[in-house]
A = this chain, B = another copy of it.
Amino acid sequence: MAEIETPAGVANELRDALRSVLGDAGVVSDPALLAARSGDWSEATKMPPALVLLPRTPQQVADVLALCARHRQRIVVQGGLTGLAGGATPAPAEVALSLARLDRIEDIDAVGGTATVQAGVVLEELQARVESQDWYFPLDLGARGSCQVGGNAATNAGGNRVIRYGTMRELVQGIEVALPDGRLLTMMNRVTKNTTGVDLKHLFIGAEGTLGVITRLVLKLSPRPTASSAALCALPSFEAATRLVRDMRRALPGLSAFEVMWSDFMEAAQEIGGLRPAFAEASPVYALVETQGARQEEDRDQLERFLGEALEAGSVSDVVVAQSQGDAHRLWAYRETIGEMLGQLKPHAAFDVGVPMAAMDSFVRTVRDALQSRFPAQRHLFFGHIGDGNLHVLSGPHGSAESLHRVEQLVYEAVGAVGGSISAEHGIGVVKKEFLHFTRSDAELELMRSLKALLDPAGILNTGRVFAPTTSV
């Protein structure tokens, strides 16, 4: 963690006004508490905020924004602080607006399958509450125990099950947003289909808090799956993986995960995670697949039959189908050693890029060759949610900030060359800002800046995240 700097002060007049809106308990200046809000899970330089504000209602959020706009006081919005792009890490002299006390699950509609929640609800808590009513909130990611649904929406979070259920954007039906001018925009739509002009919620989903603060959400639920089957497939080539995912989506519409691991990842998983090889022979590519449904045996038989035929046809080289929950955990363990790998390969460069499927194979070869020739002593691991064209690359350990930067430059240039995305699910924040031009054109950045100027003319809200506020900055 980088050194913690001393925060700049906040004008007394503003501080008093904030206290009158939030009460004394809602305006925190205790240095230990400020230090605890000095950064997210990224490598961005930590810095405590000048104050932490803890509103308890959406209206208080709006009031705080109006006050800060009047005083030109910059704000950083903070959810569970699990972001990987530094978006919630304070910049000098910013106050932190925490959603932690907006933590109420207001309603679960068990007929229509929607949950109405405040933005500060922790993802895992929502998942549990919804499942207790026989519904399911399919968004799932490693940070589930700390991340908040408001942050999930602001960053358009993804995860393992996007192939079936979509990203957070597809799961948000209604939204409430506090705008930087102090207005509260309430659009708590509870119907799936609503074609009545510009769908304004998309201005805020994925915008990483640059245009407004999400205060409440209506989330779309799915019926809770009561059965789940998993299998690990060894594949003769990446091309075989692209055919397999297409054929599985057609034949097994319950397909809920399709995770690809290249051989370098699998070897590292076995070594670092202390796991036994799943197959007698190594393969160039592996796919971990999962289906969700309602009939355990029937669903597993269906998966087994499908993969048996694929094996006979030679489109799969070998396969292990989980016969129990324990088996399934053992198969997922290869993929989940990523936590240990991230720890062991520090300092590392970790990527979350989008690459068109048709370009994926040559992308991986080109980038792997380039990394291996320039950094022969390091590990370079490739894996990802390939059903969504989402590739993760982990490269490390690297001795210097300079070589980390060279790795980043190399990977993002290659992404730009294939028309991919420099961030499939983690967002831009501050750490990927300098690479944004590889994915977004000047015209797009200009339009984002116009939207920022329209909605946040005082430039107080998460300013400097994602894109520079003006072309000259």
Query: Which A residues lie at the B interface, using CB under 8 A?
Result: 109, 111-114, 155-156, 158, 162, 164, 166-167, 169-170, 183-200, 202-203, 205-208, 210-211, 222-226, 242, 246-247, 249-251, 253-254, 292-295, 298, 302, 354-358, 385, 388-390, 419-428, 432, 436, 439-441, 443-444, 447-448, 450-451, 454, 466-467
A155 touches B195 (CB 8 A): yes
B448 touches A454 (CB 8 A): no
From B111, B169, B454, give the contact of A454 (CB < 8 A): B454
From B184, B192, B222, give the contact of A162 (CB < 8 A): B192
A191 touches B448 (CB 8 A): no
A167 touches B196 (CB 8 A): no
A193 to B354, CA, bound (A): 6
- Assembly of this chain: how many copies? 2
B246 touches A195 (CB 8 A): no
From B158, B357, B358, give the contact of A193 (CB < 8 A): B158
Chain B residues with Cβ below 8 Å from A358 are 109, 111-112
The residue on B at minimum CB distance from A294 is: B251
A191 touches B250 (CB 8 A): no
A278 to B169, CA, bound (A): 41
A183 touches B251 (CB 8 A): no
Chain B residues with Cβ below 8 Å from A451 are 198, 454
From B164, B195, B298, B421, give the contact of A196 (CB < 8 A): B421
Chain B residues with Cβ below 8 Å from A185 are 441, 443-444, 447
A199 to B200, CA, bound (A): 11
Chain B residues with Cβ below 8 Å from A246 are 113, 223
B198 touches A356 (CB 8 A): no
A226 touches B197 (CB 8 A): no
B206 touches A195 (CB 8 A): yes
Chain B residues with Cβ below 8 Å from A194 are 354, 421, 423-424, 439
A169 to B194, CA, bound (A): 11
From B223, B247, B439, give the contact of A250 (CB < 8 A): B223
A65 to B419, CA, bound (A): 28
A136 to B308, CA, bound (A): 26
A444 to B199, CA, bound (A): 10
Shortest distance from the beta carbon of A238 to any chain B beta carbon, whole Å: 10
From B114, B184, B197, B293, give the contact of A466 (CB < 8 A): B197
Given A193-B388, A194-B439, 5 extra CB contacts under 8 A: A112-B358, A112-B389, A162-B192, A187-B444, A253-B253
From B112, B390, B439, give the contact of A357 (CB < 8 A): B112
A295 to B252, CA, bound (A): 10
Chain B residues with Cβ below 8 Å from A444 are 185, 187, 197, 200
